[in-house]
Amino acid sequence: MTDHQWDAIRRTVNGEVLTPLPVGFIIDSPWLPNWYGATILDYFSNDDIWLSANLKAIRDFPEVIFLPGFWSEYGMCTEPSAFGARCTFPRNEFPHAHRVITSEQTVDSLVSPDPRTDGLLPLMLNRLRLAEPRIEDAGHKIRFAVARGPLNIASYLMGTVEFLTMMMLNPEKAERLVKKITLFLRQWLDLQRETFPSIDGIFLLDDIIGFLGVDEFRAFALPAFKELFSDDVSVRFLHNDAQCRASAPFLPEMGVNLFNMGFDITLNEVKSVTGNKVAVLGNIPPRDVLASGTPEDVKRVTSDLVQSLENCGHVILSCGGGMPPGVDSKNILAFLESARNR
């Protein structure tokens, strides 16, 4: 993202009210390839297509802050691949990482990966390194170290039901797994920051924390996220578009200062339970309005969102989650029009 956009994020995180309110969207492989006119497989396997798609987005919508910005990723296969997960890549469907942990007994034998050499991670990092000169020529910089969160990765390595069940029936084993993944993520985030000195933010995505009650969140998630968000960076950004009422009050303790939630909770409520210490990025319905609605629907719902705000500090307007598949340019422009006319 540009220096101006990064400054807008930092000022919003610090509580300033910007006019107009900034607009930001998380974009990655579920939306960008097909919007650009490429298949998902071509987007993953052709660096020129990947870069051109990202460049087209920033040029078509210069007012939008796209997060994390030039995200070099392979969908949900990115981090699990480093642990040896078999990855399936259909031509134009989302990729899938297959289970590695087949029983609780194999948790302790799970090999800790080296992010410099294992799985898709070196390919992901090298793609970004090779593209960096053209990214900077376009006036942008790499700002975030990005990773899926530890519980999210655990759910792919083991299966969501199996992992949540282990939390209940064998909590010590579940804790060891989360700690092992957290150590790997610490190394992965550090490697990204070492490779790109322009990085001044950490972005973690973890929907599995939305399936936990307060006690489970305290035990399994809170220590891991406090560790991962402990770095001295300007923006510590968390995405969880599953339920967040149990975990949101802990966001300041986790170190989070920017949060993207789903649309089943209001921005006002998130700001209230966090003591207005966390900036929020959200939160019109992504699929039913931003993707499936008409431009008039998008304008109306976005306007309603803006009018509902009790105060406009700590707010970046967006949808409740990442940009979903099928959002066309007209609806993005409609969102921007409503945001400008608040």
Structure token pair of residue 334: 């409609």
Nearest to 167 by CA among 103, 219, 120: 219
The DSSP secondary structure of 256-299, one letter per residue, reads: --EEEE-SSS-HHHHHHHTTT-SEEEEEE-IIIIIITS-HHHHH
Q: Is the pLDDT of residue 133 over 70?
A: yes
Sequence letter at residue 4: H
Provide the pLDDT for residue 249. Answer: 97
The residue with tokens 């303790």 is: 253
* Angle, helix 329-340 to helix 295-308, in steps of 10 degrees: 30
317 token code pair: 């307007």
Which whole number is the average pLDDT over 255-263? 98
The pTM of this model reads 0.97
One-letter amino acid of 176: R
Beta bridge partners of residue 64, listed in sequence order: 23
Q: How far apart are CA 68 and CA 207, in angstroms?
A: 17
What average pLDDT is seen over the chain? 97
pLDDT in tens, 23-72: 999 999 999 999 999 999 999 999 999 999 999 999 999 999 999 999 99
The structure tokens 């590695």 sit at: 100
Kindly state the average pLDDT of the residues 136-148.
Answer: 98
> Is the pLDDT assigned to residue 229 strictly greater than 70?
yes
Dihedral Cα 213, 214, 215, 221, nearest 10 deg: 90
Alpha helices in 86-170 (DSSP H): 121-137, 150-158, 160-169
Among residues 106, 210, 216, which one has the least CA distance to residue 158? 106
246 pLDDT higher than 90: yes
Q: What is the pLDDT of residue 166?
A: 97
Number of domain units in the chain: 1
Which pLDDT score, from 0 to 100, does residue 342 have?
Answer: 66
Q: Where are the alpha helices (DSSP H) in 14-92?
A: 32-36, 40-45, 47-60, 78-82
Quick one: which of 229, 230, 231, 209 has its CA closest to 220?
Answer: 209
> Quick one: tokens of 66?
């796209």
Task: For 293-315, write each residue's pLDDT tens digit.
Answer: 999 999 999 999 999 999 999 99
Tell me the CA distances in angstroms from 166 to 85, 148, 308, one per residue in order: 20, 20, 41
Percent of the chain with pLDDT over 70: 100
Q: What is the residue type of 11?
A: R
Task: Give pLDDT, residue 341.
Answer: 81
Question: Containing domain of residue 137, as a range?
Answer: 3-340
Q: What is the 3-state secondary structure (H, E, C) of 173-211?
A: HHHHHHHHHHHHHHHHHHHHHHHCCCCCEEEEECCHHHH
The CATH number linked to 201 is 3.20.20.210
Say which amino acid occupies 186: R
